[in-house]
Chain A
Amino acid sequence: GQNIDQPTEMTATEGAIVQINCTYQTSGFNGLFWYQQHAGEAPTFLSYNVLDGLEEKGRFSSFLSRSKGYSYLLLKELQMKDSASYLCAVRDYNDYKLSFGAGTTVTVRA
């Protein structure tokens, strides 16, 4: 099974940077995903890490350390529209299904 932890809430100012941490414990590992979910909407895919290191995609970057069971999502140059819930999800080696953390609600203030 999976045990995935991420902070419940974070607040930051427009234009700033926020880092959302995610730790996981798993019997097998086949990738870590980050999704963004606005209230009342579907999760949308942000990033995927399967090897250690940093993946950069525009204002969003995601980092993975498999030995530490740790990932973070970095949001730069925050905009008001970035206010949303950010979901960390892990895929087990033998499964295709995703196990999700409870999500981190990010509030961007002017």
Chain B
Amino acid sequence: NAGVMQNPRHLVRRRGQEARLRCSPMKGHSHVYWYRQLPEEGLKFMVYLQKENIIDESGMPKERFSAEFPKEGPSILRIQQVVRGDSAAYFCASSPEREQYFGPGTRLTVT
């Protein structure tokens, strides 16, 4: 059973460009969570999705950030018009119910 997969592992964007981060949950998991980890800081919850539904997006900035988990395909976290402050590691986790299993993360660098 493959683990949570994320791609790309590293992403470099210039200020103003768009970043698209993908997450494929573990097989059989229907819950997906996105977290952001800034350097030297803890993981911060961004959004919780189930298939075709956003359940909780209370941790996601209101502007420029959006997330989806379509019926088919991976979950996508989209950041429009990136700024330097968006540079961070973005982790996706999936869960059957209780514990969450994390993917390897996407390290976004905005230049």
Q: Which A residues contact B (CB, under 8 angstroms)?
A: 31, 33, 35, 41-45, 48, 87, 89, 95-103
Contacts of B98 in A (CB 8 A): 31, 48
Q: Given A42-B91, A43-B102, are A95 and B42 also a contact pair (CB < 8 Å)?
A: no
Q: Does B101 contact A (CB under 8 A)?
A: yes
User: Which residues of B (91-111) have their CB < 8 Å from a CB of A?
Assistant: 91, 95, 98-105
Q: Which B residues contact A (CB, under 8 angstroms)?
A: 4, 31, 33, 35, 41-45, 48, 55-56, 59, 91, 95, 98-105
Q: Which of A33, A48, A97, A99 has the most CB of B within 10 A?
A: A97
B91 touches A98 (CB 8 A): no
- Nearest-neighbour CB distance to chain B for A105, whole angstroms, equals 10
Q: Which of A44, A89, A98, A102 has the most CB of B within 10 A?
A: A98
- Nearest-neighbour CB distance to chain A for B16, whole angstroms, equals 27
- Nearest-neighbour CB distance to chain A for B3, whole angstroms, equals 9
A45 touches B48 (CB 8 A): no
B42 touches A42 (CB 8 A): no
Q: Given A42-B91, A43-B91, A97-B56, are A102 and B104 also a contact pair (CB < 8 Å)?
A: no
Provide the main secondary structure of the chain B interface: strand
Of chain A, the residue at the smallest CB distance from B34 is A97
B48 touches A100 (CB 8 A): no
B95 touches A96 (CB 8 A): yes
- Nearest-neighbour CB distance to chain A for B11, whole angstroms, equals 15
Contacts of B101 in A (CB 8 A): 45
A45 touches B104 (CB 8 A): no
A100 touches B100 (CB 8 A): no
Tell me, in angstroms, the Cα distance from A31 to B100 when the chains sit together.
12
B42 touches A33 (CB 8 A): no
Q: Given A87-B42, A101-B42, are A96 and B102 also a contact pair (CB < 8 Å)?
A: no
Q: Given A97-B59, A98-B45, are A42 and B99 also a contact pair (CB < 8 Å)?
A: no
